[in-house]
Amino acid sequence: MKKICIIIAQISCAAFLFAAESGVSVGIRYYDKRLYYPETGDILVQITITNNSSEAYRFRLSDDRAFSLDFDVRTLANRKVEDADILVRKRTRRQRVFFREVSLDPGESLSFVENIREWRRLDKPGSYIMQAKFYPDLFNAENADTGENQGFESLAGLTGETRGGAEAFVSNRLNLHIRAPEILSSDGIPVALEEETQAVFYREHIPPDEVVLWTLQSRQRSQWEKFFLYLDLEQMLLRDAARGRSWRAASEEGRRRMLAAYRENLNKQVIDGDISAIPFEFTIERTTYNSDEGTVVALEKFKTGDYTELKRYTYYLRRTGDIWLIVDYVVQNLGTE
């Protein structure tokens, strides 16, 4: 019986080394990529093990993937992200690790989905790079790479490498961006965040013509968060009589949902298309206001095929505290040129 075990172990080791030389690969991709925020929402990644060799490839796969897989996640400054608490608990307690023997014939693949948050503590906004490591002879403390700043394995590491007598396959890299959580103003509307630096834009005490200038320039640049900054979404929503009736009948939670849906539909240009249309050129013609209300008139030009459409927009603004907000607008079509 001992001789049989030794032969199996030798075959297993030979298979691992053969795979490293002749085409077993591990690849990762997002399972359902979405916007990610600190501490909330799963970050699902699909791992695929593929046998590109000409022989069957055999390996062990633990029932708990924490003992077959690891993720190296680093900041752009090459600092390794800490282990998630659940991973630490799994790997430090005394337990039996159950696994099954898997055999992949030439050309076959095995895929499964894992949540990166169960491996790494991603509780801070920022940009990261991640890479998976697959241990076909199971993970243990000896074969794990614990170096803080050694950097990623070579992308040629789709072939394997040996650590402490056990082989590890490394995958391709994925970029991961954790966005800063939305910051709400006093009226519950998110303030704008600059896309690259995540700097916060707050509503400022600026006159009505500058409010319209900010809004139009933000729309030209497709900076949606900045575009919404000086729109009073509640008043804009209430411009429609049917929406107004639904608003008055809704609960506080229902009104929040209505505002969120209205904001999303404006973003998609499903409703109120005139306010979210993109002018390639505009001129502010006239501004009038008193202590509480203001009007700004702007001539805006839009490209339509070979023609240029001219429209005159009249924006109505209301002062709330020290802040001017757009509450309504009308559009006059002036023909083409």
What is the residue-wise DSSP string for 200-265? EE------HHHHHHHHHHHHHTT-HHHHTTTB-HHHHHTTSHHHHHHHHHS-HHHHHHHHHHHHHH
Q: What is the pLDDT of residue 163?
A: 36
pLDDT at position 289: 93
Average pLDDT over residues 179-196: 55
How many other C-beta atoms can be found within 10 angstroms of the C-beta atom of residue 135? Answer: 23
What contacts 248, CB < 8 A, 6 or more positions away? none
Give the per-residue pLDDT at 308: 92
**Cα–Cα distance between 265 and 284 in angstroms, integer?**
27
232 shares a domain with 159: no
Give me the phi and psi of 213, to 5 degrees please: -60, -45
Answer yes or no: do 67 and 152 share one domain: yes
Task: Judge whether 296 lies within some domain.
Answer: yes
311 is in which domain, residue-wise?
192-336
Domain boundary among 147, 178, 209: 178
In the listed set 152, 178, 204, which residue is the last one of a domain according to the structure? 178
Note whether 196 and 156 are same-domain residues. Answer: no
Whole-angstrom distance, CA of residue 158 vs CA of residue 168: 10
Mean pLDDT confidence for 34-60: 86
Residue-level pLDDT at 264: 83
Q: Is the dihedral of CA 117, 119, 122, 128 positive or negative?
A: negative
Which residues is 78 bridged to in the sheet? Answer: none
332 lies in some domain: yes
The residue written with tokens 């690891």 in the block is: 70
* CA distances from residue 64 to 61, 84, 99, 113, 156 in whole angstroms, order as listed: 8, 15, 8, 12, 27
Identify whether 183 is part of a domain.
Answer: no
Check which CATH number belongs to the domain holding 320 and give it: 3.10.450.50
**Are 123 and 39 in contact, with CB atoms under 8 Å apart?**
yes
Q: What is the CATH number of the domain that holds 159?
A: 2.60.40.2360
Q: What pLDDT shows up at residue 141? A: 56
The three-state secondary structure class of 329 is strand
- For residues 163 and 237, membership in a common domain is answered with no
pTM for this predicted structure: 0.48
Q: Quote the crossing angle between the two packed helices 241-249 and 252-267, to the nearest 10°.
A: 150
Answer yes or no: do 132 and 277 share one domain: no
Q: Are residues 272 and 226 in the same domain?
A: yes
Q: Greater confidence, 18 or 208? A: 208
- With CA atoms as reference, report the closest residue to 52 among 9, 18, 99, 28: 18
What does the CA dihedral 37, 38, 42, 45 come to, rounded to 10 degrees? 80
Reported confidence tier of residue 299, pLDDT bands at 50, 70, 90? very high
Q: pLDDT tens-digit profile of 232-279? A: 988 988 888 888 899 888 888 888 888 888 888 888 777 777 888 889
In a domain, 108, yes or no: yes
* 157 in the same domain as 8: yes
Position 222 in a domain: yes
- 147, pLDDT greater than 50: no
Do 135 and 229 share a structural domain? no
Number of structural domains (the chain) is 2
Torsion region of 139: left, alpha or beta (phi above 0 gives left; psi -120 to 50 gives alpha):
beta
Distance CA 336, CA 111 (A): 57
223 shares a domain with 127? no
For residue 117, the 8-state DSSP code is G
201 and 165, same structural domain?
Answer: no
- Domain boundary residue, one of 149, 178, 207: 178
Would 219 be classed as within a structural domain?
yes
Asked whether residue 30 falls in the same domain as residue 107, the answer is: yes
Query: What does the alpha-carbon distance between residue 69 and residue 148 come to, in Å, rounded to a whole number?
Result: 18
Residue 246 resides in a domain: yes
Is residue 110 assigned to a domain?
Answer: yes
At 312, the pLDDT band (50, 70, 90 cuts) reads very high
Whether 157 and 305 map to the same domain: the answer is no
**What contacts 29, CB < 8 A, 6 or more positions away?**
45, 46, 48, 174
Question: Is 60 exceeded by the pLDDT of residue 85?
Answer: yes
